[in-house]
Amino acid sequence: MELYLHFIQINSEFSQGFADDLNNGEESEDNIKHLWEDELKVSGSVKDFKIKNNSVYELAGYFPDNEEFSFEIPDMTVCECFMDNGERNIFAVSKKLLKRTEKIIKEKGEAVHMYFYLKDTLPLENPMDGVYILRSDFPKELRKSKSDN
């Protein structure tokens, strides 16, 4: 199956009443519904995927000096994708950032779209595509490393 992940930050100042009264229920330039959207298509054929709430996400990589790092991030909603080739892909969002999720199946189950609607009231870090971490949960060691560059 094809799996598309949509990460959408909702504008908390959007007014449906204003949209209804002045713009036939639609958003306008002065009353936008979403601040931004990232859409990812998971590369390759997805055999299955699972959404895990209240999970721990391991953020791993390398510092600029090639030293390895690994941090466990608590309270995450994790999308674990199992690929036809046996590989596994992981995407994650801090639970406190999520307003809601939605799953839409299209094309007779051959394409699935997962929507992750994010609040705009809490600051976040986006260290890589498909990973959104509450800034207060983001490792300080990585913030310091980013500012040194």
Say how many domains are in the chain: 1
Q: Is the pLDDT of residue 83 over 90?
A: yes
pLDDT-based confidence at residue 148 (cuts at 50, 70, 90): very low
Q: Is the pLDDT of residue 149 over 90?
A: no
Quote the domain boundaries for residue 75: 2-148
pLDDT of residue 144: 62
Side by side, the strands of the sheet bearing 46-62 are 46-62, 68-83, 88-94, 131-134, 124-128
Quick: pLDDT tens for 97-132. 999 999 999 877 789 999 999 999 999 999 999 999
Quick: pLDDT tens for 32-70. 999 999 999 999 999 999 999 999 999 999 988 999 999
Quick: pLDDT tens for 17-37. 988 998 898 989 889 999 999
pLDDT of residue 106: 85
CA distance 40 to 4: 6
